Amino acid sequence: MQYIQQVLFILVLAAAIYLFAKKAGTIKRNIFLGINEHESHDAATGWKNLILLALGQKKMFKNPLVALMHLVVYAGFIIINIEVLEIVLDGILGTHRIFSVPLGGVYSWLINSFEFLAVAVIFVCIIFLIRRNIIRIRRFASNDLNGWPRSDANYILITEIVLMSLFLTMDACDPEQSFVLSQFLKPLFSSLNSGTIAAIEITCWWLHIIGILAFLNYLPYSKHLHIILAFPNAYYARTTVQGKMLNMPEIQKEVLYAMQPELIPADASAETAHKKFGARDIFDLNWKNLLDAYSCTECGRCTAACPANITGKKLSPRHIMMKTRDRLEEVGRNIDSNKTFLDDNKSLLRDYISEEELRACTTCNACVEQCPVSISPLDIIIRMRRYLIMEDSSAPQEWNSTFSNIENNFAPWKFAPDERDKWAEDLQSAG
């Protein structure tokens, strides 16, 4: 019987790892559908961001209480799952608490610490469920989250509660060990015989590890993929001054050539013939934009800070990221089905994200500043607006007037350059 359980465990473990690796490969492929374009990166700053933002959750501590609760869940997920290593070895080798003998008293200290964390995680997850479903905090009640996104968050919180409860029950049913918190659950099983208690323990053991493996394979389909992708995303976050708008070299060349025609190279037309200005679909975004989309936590802090959204406009930076990811997943399924992408007569622009949303953005950078993992909805918005202006010639009349003034008067105002200082002459005469 023991050998059958070992074989079954190895098969379940192998299947879970295979399915996760397969989906992870698909996500990696989807991310690199974006163009290979990213600003030069400073490795030292990247590692600093990774440690402070992804691991230390620095930005979360703008709201210390919520940050502390989130840190408890995060620490529980990372630290308690060290115990998974023991479970895996026990499952493969057919042992029971393989680390208990070699670690001695340290082992009891570790499990006791894990139990305190487990109880804290259960408590915090209940609070988060209340915040989302009873108190209904504004950024969680937004229409952005209607349907699956709202259910996804609840499923994860409930799963965390179940996994921690199984962990505590498993400890309570262990006849050879007594731990600091689970010992208070032992009276619940005192009327049962040893065989039944052993069956409960092994059932909790199986449910716990199957739950963790199922959670692992659920991650790639969930917003909680940020648990993994927050690290590379923070590492590759922009290191230039926040809010600095990156110019397009092609446009700079066009301006230079207009000012100094003698610098136009013989092959200038061929140089820009294949270049598309801005972004219409996910293929026109860079790989960091697509990594941002997969890393989005859907927390809504970006939208809550967006002045356009606050004043009732349609723009929601969270919606921009979610729809970019939706389009990216759709393109991925297209490639999986056809071995290559076949035109589906859709695009990120208009089919997923409207012109109204893009034009509402004030480029204030509040969304980037608020994001816990340094995602930049603004970069995607700017790229798509550039496409609207430079490829589709689509802009509100007010913008077109500004563009004309800049082109003709070298300023947004409708005054000739030589008349711009006349207001100062009036001041001199008045003095």
pLDDT range class, residue 243, cuts 50, 70, 90: confident
Q: Tell me, what's the pLDDT at 39?
A: 65
- Whichever domain contains 263, its CATH number is 1.10.1060
Residues 53-68 have pLDDT tens digits of 888 888 888 888 888 8
| Structure tokens belonging to residue 345 | 């007569």
CA distance 282 to 31: 9
Contact residues for 286 (Cβ-Cβ < 8 A; gap 6+) = 34, 35, 36, 37, 38
Residue 421 included in any domain: no
Checking 326-333 for CB contacts under 8 A at 24+ apart, the result is: 326/352, 327/281, 327/282, 327/351, 327/352, 328/30, 328/33, 328/282, 328/290, 328/293, 328/294, 329/30, 331/30, 331/33, 331/281, 331/282, 331/283, 332/26, 332/29, 332/30, 332/33
CA distance 351 to 363: 22
**Are 227 and 254 in the same domain?**
no
Residues 329-341 have pLDDT tens digits of 999 999 999 999 9
Residues 186-218 have pLDDT tens digits of 999 988 998 999 999 999 999 999 999 999 999
- Using the CB atoms, write b or e for 178-202: b if 16+ within 10 Å: ebebbeeebeebeeeeeeebeebbe
Residue 177 included in any domain: yes
Contact between residue 231 and residue 50 where contact means Cβ atoms under 8 Å apart: yes
**Are 231 and 274 in the same domain?**
no
Q: Tell me, what's the pLDDT at 272?
A: 55
pTM as predicted: 0.86
Give the H/E segment covering residue 374.
none
Residues 278-299 have pLDDT tens digits of 999 999 999 999 999 999 999 9
For the chain, how many structural domains are there in total?
A: 2
Residue 412 included in any domain: no
Q: Please give the full DSSP string across 285-318, using - where no structure is assigned.
A: SBHHHHHHHHH-----HHHHH-HHHHTT-S--HH
Q: Would the pLDDT of 143 be above 90? A: no
Q: Would the pLDDT of 430 be above 60? A: no
Residue 427 included in any domain: no
Q: Which domain holds residue 128?
A: 2-235
